[in-house]
Amino acid sequence: ICRPFPKTTERIGCREAVFIFSETFSGEITSINRTKTAISGQTEDFWALDASLTTPISFRTPQGITQQSRVLFLIDANTGAITPYGVR
């Protein structure tokens, strides 16, 4: 899954991002990409992982709380912090 992303000097590379996901959640990563997101007025680098989870997690939506097993995660490319970002 990391073949398209050459090893870099960044703190968190593709392989590290996959490891962080697998240590935190159980499931299969269906895709991974690099992305930049504006947070608090600054642009941050993230790994975006689309995953199918073995055990669904809860999300708050305008309609209430929902359980989802197909989730997009963001992993900070500098700190390794993982955040469920949205449902797929």
The 10 Å CB-count burial string (b at 16+, else e) for 12-41 is: bbbebbbebbeeebebebeebeeeeeeeee
User: Kindly report the CA angle at 20 between 53 and 78, in degrees rounded to 5?
Assistant: 130
The pTM of this model reads: 0.85
pLDDT at position 79 = 92
Checking if the pLDDT of 88 tops 70, the result is no
CB 57 within 8 A of CB 71: yes
Checking if the pLDDT of 77 tops 80, the result is yes
